[in-house]
């Protein structure tokens, strides 16, 4: 067996790669869209729509990514993610026209599907089995700083070199920083999913199945997809929602900067105390906080700072629940495959939600959009409660153990 590096080294290396991965995909339009439109004259909706196209690709390939990680481990997938990211960003930077730009987003989407949280969670589950909860939680602490690091860095590079050179620099960082970091810490021999273990791996040969597992899986997929869809709309349109509640643009921008720290703060709490309770309580807290924040916003409660802290904290730990809850419910053996299947609807919803939110804003206004999001968030509270009821025997057994 290859000796595995210290978990802190693994999490740090993968965490730095996650900052770069999120900052050069999901968060890239926030800084790059305006200079791209200004130089090229392409439609803003098409430029920003590249992100949705990438997320669609990521969602479509996620089940196969999960299967591949289950069979071969995470190293080949994470290596491929760095190559896809580098090729996609280079393609964007060199794109002579809009079709070439959108084709580059197809490559970047493949990088997202093989290199963002879902794939890395599966790789960590493959490495650490039932002990993967702490590494997954710690990894999300790094991811929470993606916009904090990459937005100012992107703005600086665009100002100094232009957006095309900035994309090429990011492509180089994926090749010469992220790729070596990831392949140096992800390794180990393959372990059969349903057979005997390779020496030294701590995963059981099989996982005990829930008696109502198909229904549990479908309900969990719905909860995660709703959380991702709501979160995607709020992240993209947050400033519009805040201005609809009386904040001017400058104040809305200032309040928006609290969103990232709120996510990280909630993840720190989960990191410190999460080992004391089942991950389903993380997801219950996530759904409850998101619903509470949106309900306050919908009701016109003037405490906008508190609203952002509550909602941002709930959204932040939803990404932890996305990785740790399937691991706890279904066990480590099938975790990589199931993680890929769960990512499929979630990423599709995440891709389509910002456009759906924009259409709703145009048709019904900010008040109706916030109200609709609140209804969906409250529905998610009901759904996660139903999931708890369906799984309470497994939860009680886990506590007794």
Residue 189's pLDDT band, with cuts at 50, 70 and 90, is very low
CB neighbourhood size of 6 (10 A): 9
Which of 83-97, 233-247, 270-284, 380-394 is most confident? Answer: 83-97
Q: What are phi and psi of 245, to 5 degrees?
A: -105, 20
CA distance 382 to 280: 14
Contact call for residues 74 and 127 (beta carbons, < 8 A): yes
State pTM to two decimals: 0.84
Q: 304 near 339, Cβ under 8 Å?
A: no
Which has the closest alpha carbon to 74: 124, 132, 118, 108?
124
User: What's the pLDDT score for residue 194?
Assistant: 40
Please tell me whether residue 247 adopts helix, strand or coil conformation.
Answer: coil
Helix-helix angle 98-115:117-128, to 10 degrees? 20
Task: Please report the sign of the dihedral spanned by the C-alpha atoms of residue 204, residue 224, residue 342, residue 7.
Answer: negative
**pLDDT tens, residue by residue, 219-278:** 999 999 999 999 988 987 888 899 899 888 788 878 877 888 898 899 999 989 888 888
Which run of H or of E encompasses 174?
none
Domains 7-185 and 213-400 share a fold: yes
CB 139 within 8 A of CB 120: yes
Comparing C-alpha atoms, which of 40, 116, 52 is closest to residue 357? 52
The residue whose two tokens read 């206004």 is: 365
Q: Is 277 left (phi over 0), alpha (psi -120 to 50) or beta?
A: beta
The SS3 call for residue 164 is helix
Does an H or E element contain 200, and which?
none
In whole angstroms, give the CA distance from residue 205 to residue 191.
9
Largest CA distance in the chain: 63
| Out of 93-107, 217-231, 246-260, 299-313, least confident range | 246-260
Kindly report, residue by residue over 5-49, the tens digit of the pLDDT. Answer: 788 899 999 999 999 999 999 888 878 988 999 999 998 888 888
What tokens does 339 get? 């993680």
Query: CA-CA distance, 266 to 325, in Å (whole number)?
Result: 17
Round to whole Å and give the CA distance between 314 and 347.
19
Q: What is the pLDDT of residue 104?
A: 97
Write out the CATH class of domain 213-400.
mainly alpha
Q: Answer yes or no: CATH 1.20.1250.20 is held by domain 7-185.
A: yes
Reduced to 3 states (helix: H, G, I; strand: E, B; else coil), residue 222 is helix
Q: Does residue 42 sit in helix, strand or coil?
A: coil
Q: Residue 114: which residues within 8 A CB-CB, separation 6 or more?
A: 61, 65, 77, 78, 80, 81, 84
Residues of the chain with pLDDT > 70: what percent? Answer: 91
Domain extents in the chain: 7-185, 213-400
Number of H helices, E strands in the chain: 16, 0
Joined together, the tokens standing for residue 150 give 């990459």
- Tokens 């729509």: give the residue: 49
187-208 as b/e, with b when 16 or more CB fall inside 10 Å?
bbeebebeeeeeeebebeeebe
pLDDT higher than threshold 50 for residue 124:
yes
Q: Enter the DSSP assignment of 276.
A: G
Nearest-Å Rg of the Cα atoms of the chain is: 21
């Amino acid at each position: 067996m290859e000796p595995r590096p210290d978990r802190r080294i693994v999490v740090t290396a993968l965490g730095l790669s996650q900052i770069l991965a999120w900052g050069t995909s999901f968060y890239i339009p926030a800084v790059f869209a305006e200079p791209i439109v200004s130089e090229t004259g392409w439609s803003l909706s098409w430029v920003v729509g590249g992100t949705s196209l990438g997320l669609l690709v990521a969602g479509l390939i996620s089940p196969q990514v999960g299967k591949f990680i289950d069979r071969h481990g995470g190293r080949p997938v994470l290596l491929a993610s760095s190559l896809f990211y580098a090729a996609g960003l280079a393609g964007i930077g060199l794109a002579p026209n809009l079709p070439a730009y959108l084709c580059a987003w197809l490559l970047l989407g493949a990088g997202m599907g093989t290199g963002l949280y879902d794939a890395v969670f599966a790789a960590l589950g493959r490495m650490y089995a039932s002990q993967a909860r702490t590494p997954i939680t710690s990894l999300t602490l790094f991811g929470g700083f993606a916009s904090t690091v990459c937005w100012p860095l992107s703005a600086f590079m665009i100002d100094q070199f232009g957006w095309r050179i900035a994309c090429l620099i990011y492509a180089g960082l994926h090749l010469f920083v992220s790729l070596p970091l990831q392949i140096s810490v992800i390794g180990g021999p393959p372990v059969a999913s349903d057979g005997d273990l390779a020496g030294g791996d701590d995963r059981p040969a099989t996982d005990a199945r829930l008696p109502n597992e198909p229904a549990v899986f479908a309900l969990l997929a719905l909860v995660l997809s709703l959380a991702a869809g709501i979160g995607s709309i709020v992240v993209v349109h947050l400033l519009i929602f805040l201005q609809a509640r009386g904040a001017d643009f400058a104040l809305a921008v200032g309040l928006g900067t609290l969103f990232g720290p709120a996510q990280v703060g909630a993840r720190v709490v989960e990191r410190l105390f999460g080992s004391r309770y089942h991950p389903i309580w993380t997801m219950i807290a996530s759904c409850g906080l998101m619903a509470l924040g949106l309900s306050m916003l919908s009701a016109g409660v003037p405490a906008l700072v508190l609203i952002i802290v509550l909602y941002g904290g709930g959204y932040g730990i939803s990404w932890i629940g996305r990785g740790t809850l399937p691991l706890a419910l279904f066990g480590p053996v099938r975790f990589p495959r199931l993680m890929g299947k769960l990512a499929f609807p979630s990423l599709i919803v995440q891709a389509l939600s910002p456009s759906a939110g924009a259409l709703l804003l145009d048709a019904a206004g900010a008040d109706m959009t916030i109200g609709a999001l609140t209804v969906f968030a409250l529905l998610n509270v009901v759904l996660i409660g139903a999931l708890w009821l369906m799984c309470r025997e497994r939860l009680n057994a886990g506590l007794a153990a």
